[in-house]
Amino acid sequence: MTSLFQSLQLGALSLPNRILMAPMTRGFVISEPAPTEMMIDYYAQRASAGLIISEAIGINKPNPKLYQRALARMELEPAEVMYVGDSPAHDVAPSNEIGMVSVWARRASKWRGTTSHTDADHTIDSFDELRTVVAARQAR
């Protein structure tokens, strides 16, 4: 079984692990063609996490093919991957559909006061809670 923390050679890229990050939240999108200082800081803080998937492949959430393509490129099975997102429809539902471990981050979600439209495997209200979820899953 491949480990999430195992290195990966992806074309010319030598990645330290198989952790994926979304390119940015819609809250960062601006009309200017150049990144803002906020965007630069955001990615600089997360650069060591591993691979960042761009929207260049032409598949958008909530299409499960986006997740399947990422899993295939990293040689991981869906059950080996935890997907954290704040949208029940665009994050939880497609990750559930293909068998990934889903985590609904209600923390700043506009759906915070409602019940999820689809059941996530885990629900968190802060990213500090994610440590507990990951530790519990690793202990299995």
pLDDT (tens digit per residue) in 10-41: 777 787 877 766 555 545 555 555 667 776 67
Q: Which of 4-18, 37-51, 107-121 has the highest mean pLDDT?
A: 4-18
Alpha-carbon span 38 to 35, nearest angstrom: 8
Alpha-carbon span 30 to 14, nearest angstrom: 31
Residue spans per domain, the chain? 8-138
Using one digit for the tens of pLDDT, what is the confidence trace for 60-100? 788 898 888 888 877 889 998 888 888 888 889 999 999 99
SS3 call for 116: coil
Per-residue model confidence (pLDDT) at position 140: 80
Per-residue model confidence (pLDDT) at position 35: 63
- Which DSSP string corresponds to 36-57? PHHHHHHHHHHGGGEEE--GGG
With CA atoms as reference, report the closest residue to 121 among 110, 91, 113: 91
Alpha-carbon span 22 to 70, nearest angstrom: 11
> If pLDDT is split at 50, 70 and 90, which confidence band does 122 have?
very high
Per-residue model confidence (pLDDT) at position 70: 81
* CATH code for the structural domain at 8-138: 3.40.50.1000
CA distance readout (Å), 1 to 6, 44, 75, 115, 130: 10, 31, 10, 35, 23
